[in-house]
Amino acid sequence: MEKPKKKIAAPQKRPRPRKPKTAYSPEEIHEIFRRFSVQRPEPKGELEHVNAFTLLVAVVLSAQATDAGVNKATRALFKVADTPEKMLALGEAKVGDHIRTIGLWRNKAKNVIALSEALIRDHGSQVPDSRDALTTLPGVGRKTANVVLNMAFGQPTMAVDTHILRIGNRIGLAPGKTPEQVEAILVRIIPAEYMRHAHHWLILHGRYVCKARKPDCPACVIADICKSAEKTTAIPAPLVEIQATA
């Protein structure tokens, strides 16, 4: 008698990993950014610059450095070199002398000269207004490109720095292990009407309120909405509402 054939179990499908999601409803997200917009109607970046070129240079120099430190170094630099041609004429050694107080200044001086050459050679001395073009320039990554596109050209980009990466995870607004993951969530969930300034609102909130070591919850305009487990002090919702709409 022929033995019955064993049934081969169908291979089980592995569940796909779930994409990180925000902890907030669309209504809560809208209210968060509405309050930010009332608190700071016209937020501005803190890097000093006089045109798109000096903004690009300042952002490149700001990697692993503070805005205050970059501003101190570039005030004199931008007085003598506010165009790619002037920067190239100044030369790597003199650029280095100006930015010596900034971390990684030697490599940054090389990048500033190299990107000045690339702008003259490939872009008619103009800073391009596309991310693809910007990220081909020496020393320019996605975050730098997003900052320039937002500040110089008014594009609704999201430049995720250490502050935004921290806030996205701490309060559950945009959880992600990498800046790219956090950026992807934020550009998807932030209402279009608030995208223009959202990157600055989040940076300033992280720099001055939702700080790394000790969040200043009493000064937070979204404390009653915030879902962070790290809150230092609870604030009654009516008080936050008054602060946000004053």
State the binding site.
Answer: 210, 217, 220, 226
Q: Classify burial at 31, counting beta carbons within 10 Å of its beta carbon; exposed 0-12, middle 13-18, buried 19 or more.
A: middle
Is residue 224 part of the annotated active site? The answer reads no
Is residue 94 part of the annotated active site? The answer reads no
5, 94, 129, 143: the active-site residue: 143
- Of 200, 210, 204, which is closest to residue 157 (Cα–Cα)? 200
CA dist., res. 56 & res. 34, Å (int):
29
161, 211, 216, 224: the active-site residue: 161
Cα 135 to Cα 35, 56, 115, 118, distances in angstroms: 33, 11, 11, 12
In the structure encoding, which two tokens stand for residue 60, read together? 């490149």
In the structure encoding, which two tokens stand for residue 179, read together? 């800046």
Other beta carbons less than 10 A from residue 179's beta carbon: 20
H or E stretch covering 94: helix 92-98
Q: How many residues does the chain have?
A: 246
State the binding site for [4Fe-4S] cluster.
Answer: 210, 217, 220, 226
Residues annotated as catalytic (active site), given as ranges: 143, 161
